[in-house]
Amino acid sequence: MNPVSGVPIVGVIGGGQLARMMIPPAVELGLQLRVLAENAGESAALAVTQLGDYRSAEDVLRFAQGVDVITFDHEHVPQEVLRALLESGVAVHPSADALLYAQDKLLMRQRLTQLGMPVPEWAAVDSEADLESFLAEHGGRAVIKTPRGGYDGKGVRVVSTASEVADWFTGDGPLLAEELVDFRRELSQQVARRPSGELAIWPVVESIQRDGVCVEVIAPAPDSSEKLTEVAEWIATTIAQELGVTGMLAVELFETTDERLLVNELAMRPHNSGHWTIDGSATSQFEQHLRAVLDLPLGATAPRDPWSVMVNVLGGTTENRYPAALADQPDVKYHFYGKEPRPGRKVGHVTAAGEDLEDVVFRARAAAAFFED
């Protein structure tokens, strides 16, 4: 806490767009945000107070001095650094114990299975022979994931023979093999949880992926039965509680063609599938994350509009594009992350809202298209 003003200080490890989007609610709530970034000029540059390596306990412990709570822009801080933080006495949310299941997909699968959560059929495969057995038992195709380090489709391959991931059998431990789920669509359920236990939940949303990257989110997920929304909420709140998640949790789900929900991935931080909440919910996921990690009461999560649609801008630029885009879509909210454009890179997103879903989708896509090459 700032000793003069009594203002709580939140330290965020990682300087990407998720840290950046915590800046507006921190400014509005009158909180102080500090960011540990790897390099100057990252998305959250405005709030960066230290450059350093999140894998270095020394850098991270120095950053943590004087802050009230440490939280994260990403899930890559090693367990030993998290443990060192804990030992230093600083509050860390989410905790090392919880983060473990967002860091390691194999441990996540084991734990969720233990909890009775619905998950795709899976196995830890140690060798090509193991994988061939799994393939034989699952229709000859499977999704193979490296347990650690993957994101946005990286570290994931769909294979029909073990040789396609021969390069991943490096002796670093087993891979995760999962059945290829026959899904109707992908959903995402977001929930916030405070250390003292309070939960806040948003409506389940539909997340549209292309090449493993989220391109569009529709909130709430269209054509969702009451049962589907209840099951999605039950899954997310159970995981948040049983894993002791603090802050934001996103549970990515498959809705199967036979109307079941299966847990795909977990993220313990604000998530792309929740960006619509900045404009579309009484409390955004970024404000809620700050409130949750400070163990402050959570805000209301009611949607502001019948439909909100978020479209990612991949690889585009704002340079010279704003005049036409803003003139064409004055109701759309524009968000850019201050990132250098590279093909396929998420550099921003737009959100439209309204009563007619078709119109909302059209406006969001039209706005995003102005920035693409």
Chain residues that interact with a copy of itself, rule: CB under 8 A: 4-7, 20-21, 23-25, 27-30, 46-47, 278, 282-283, 291, 296-300, 302, 304, 317-320, 322-323, 326-327, 330-331, 333-338, 340, 348
Residue among 28 and 53 whose Cβ is closer to a copy of itself: 28
Q: Which residues contact 234 (CB under 8 A, 6 or more apart)?
A: none
CB of 65 to a copy of itself, least distance (A): 20
If the CB atoms of residues 10 and 23 are measured against a copy of itself, the closer one turns out to be: 23
Q: Which amino acid is at 117?
A: M
Distance between CA 18 and CA 32 in Å, rounded?
16
Residue bearing tokens 């313990």: 268
The closest alpha carbon to 148, from 234, 55, 30, belongs to 55
CB of 276 to a copy of itself, least distance (A): 13
Report the residue number, 47 or 239, with the smaller CB distance to a copy of itself: 47
Which is nearer to a copy of itself, 112 or 313 (by Cβ)? 313
Looking at the Cβ atoms of 47 and 311, the one nearer to a copy of itself is 47
Strand bridging mode 9-13 / 32-37: parallel
Residues with Cβ within 8 Å of residue 262, at least 6 apart in sequence: 118, 119, 120, 181, 183, 253, 254, 256
Burial of 41 (0-12, 13-18, 19+ CB in 10 A): exposed
Instruction: Return the number of other C-beta atoms located less than 10 Å from residue 130's C-beta.
Output: 17
Three-class SS state of 42? coil
Q: How far is the CB of 61 from a copy of itself (least distance, A)?
A: 24
Provide, rounded to whole angstroms, the least separation between the CB of residue 17 and a copy of itself: 10
How far apart CA 128 and CA 134 sit, in angstroms, is 10
C-beta closer to a copy of itself: residue 247 or 348: 348
DSSP state of 296: P
CB nearer a copy of itself, residue 204 or residue 290: 290
Question: To the nearest whole angstrom, how small is the minimum distance from the Cβ of residue 293 to a copy of itself?
Answer: 13
- Least distance from a copy of itself to the Cβ atom of residue 23, Å: 5
Backbone phi, psi, residue 287, to 5°: -60, -45
Q: Could you tell me the smallest distance in angstroms from the CB atom of residue 330 to a copy of itself?
A: 5
**What's the number of CA atoms in the CB half-sphere (13 Å) around residue 372?**
16
